[in-house]
Amino acid sequence: MQLDTRGFTLIEMLVVVALLAIIMIGLLNLLDTSSRISVVETELADTQENVRFAAYHIMRTARMMGSAALPIAANVGGNDVWMAGQLLSNQSGTVATDFGNVTVAPGSDVLTLRGFFEIQPMFTDPRNDIGTSTVTVRESNAGRVVNTGISQIDIDSDGNAEGLRGRGLFFIGKMDQREYAVGQITADAALTGTAPDRTLTLTYGAGTAQWSGLNQAGVSVPPIFDVYRIGIFDSYTYYVDPDFTLQRLRADATGATSEPVAINIGSLQVAFGVDANDNNNIDLGEWLSAPSVTDVSDNPVLAMRITVLGRTDREVPDWIEPAATFQVEDMDMNAVSRFAKWRRIQVEAALRNYLF
From residue 202, how far is each of 136, 150, 223, 267 by CA, in Å?
Answer: 7, 12, 15, 39
Q: Is residue 338 part of a domain?
A: yes
End-to-end CA gap in the chain: 110
Closest C-alpha to 289, from 116, 95, 108: 108
Host domain of residue 327: 45-111+236-249+258-350
Residues 102 and 197 both lie in one domain = no
Residues 245 and 344 both lie in one domain = yes
Residues 293 and 198 both lie in one domain = no
From residue 234, how far is each of 4, 217, 259 by CA, in Å?
Answer: 92, 21, 14
Q: Are 244 and 311 in contact (CB under 8 A)?
A: yes
Residues 243 and 326 both lie in one domain = yes
Residues 243 and 330 both lie in one domain = yes
Residues 220 and 295 both lie in one domain = no
Q: Is residue 179 part of a domain?
A: yes
pLDDT, tens digit, for every residue of 315-343? 888 889 999 999 897 888 888 999 999 99
Domain final residue, candidates 168, 198, 233: 233
From residue 356, how far is each of 66, 77, 199, 280, 306 by CA, in Å?
Answer: 9, 18, 34, 11, 22
Residues 224 and 146 both lie in one domain = yes
Assign residue 21 a region (left: φ > 0; alpha: ψ between -120 and 50; beta: otherwise): alpha
Residues 217 and 244 both lie in one domain = no
Check pLDDT > 70 for residue 355. Answer: no
pLDDT, tens digit, for every residue of 206-220? 877 788 888 877 887
Angle at 188 between CA 182 and CA 193, to 5 degrees: 105
Mean pLDDT across 184-190: 89
Task: Give the span between the Cα atoms of 25 and 45, in whole angstroms.
Answer: 30
Residues 277 and 187 both lie in one domain = no
Residues 244 and 98 both lie in one domain = yes
Residues 183 and 329 both lie in one domain = no
Q: Is residue 19 part of a domain?
A: no
Q: Is residue 28 part of a domain?
A: no
Check pLDDT > 50 for residue 270. Answer: yes
Task: Give the span between the Cα atoms of 209 and 183, in whole angstroms.
Answer: 10
pLDDT at site 62: 92
Q: Is residue 327 part of a domain?
A: yes
Check pLDDT > 90 for residue 354. Answer: no
Residues 102 and 140 both lie in one domain = no
Check pLDDT > 80 for residue 274. Answer: yes
From residue 246, how far is each of 42, 109, 277, 320, 348 by CA, in Å?
Answer: 20, 11, 34, 23, 18
Q: Is residue 219 part of a domain?
A: yes
Q: Is residue 31 part of a domain?
A: no
pTM: 0.85
CB neighbour list of residue 269: distance below 8 Å, 6 or more residues apart: 108, 109, 289, 306, 307, 308, 309, 328, 329, 331
- Number of domains observed in the structure of the chain: 2
Q: Is residue 81 part of a domain?
A: yes
